Amino acid sequence: MSDCIFCKIASGDIPAKKAFEDDDMVVFHDINPVAPVHLLAIPKRHIASLADARPEDALVMGKLLQTGARLAVEHGCTDGFRTLVNTGRVGRQEVYHLHIHFVGGPDVLPPMLKR
Ligand code: 5GP
Ligand code: ZN
């Protein structure tokens, strides 16, 4: 996807503060963090959203979760963190390239959603 900002981060065309990279995925720091630790884990292959993931994407999606969790802990989230995937209009997704947020820090997270 030539006009996708996260594809450009994956290819290195746009700089990002990368915490991890391999053939399948990248983990990098969110440019506008909501907490002291705010990492984004993305597949290198363009998948527009979680709703667009196919069965053959399951392996890389598992890698995103496992690797992102390891990096969150390594970045200081030793007492927990939150994972979040915003999907589509209702989920208020802003960047249409699948990404998992890993958010944490010392006791800064509010309850998940207002009831
Ligand atoms: P969404 O609302 O789609 O779940 O989240 C998109 C996230 O991507 C936001 O938290 C936003 O700050 C982050 N973001 C958008 N553009 C860039 C960028 O160019 N570089 C980095 N590192 N993060 C970005
Ligand atoms: Zn993309």
Q: Which ligand is nearest to the CA of 28?
A: 1
**Ligand 1 closest atom vs CA 16:** 22
Q: What is the pLDDT of residues 39-85, one digit of tens each?
A: 999 999 999 999 999 999 999 999 999 999 999 999 999 999 999 99
110: which 2 tokens? Answer: 């509010």
The DSSP code for 79 is T
Residue 115 pLDDT exceeds 80: no
pTM over 0.85: yes
How is the chain split among helix, strand and coil, in percent rounded to 5?
25, 20, 55
Q: Of the residues 75, 97, 99, 101, which is catalytic?
A: 99
103 forms bridges with which residues in the sheet? 38, 82
How many CB atoms are closer than 10 A to CB 24?
A: 15
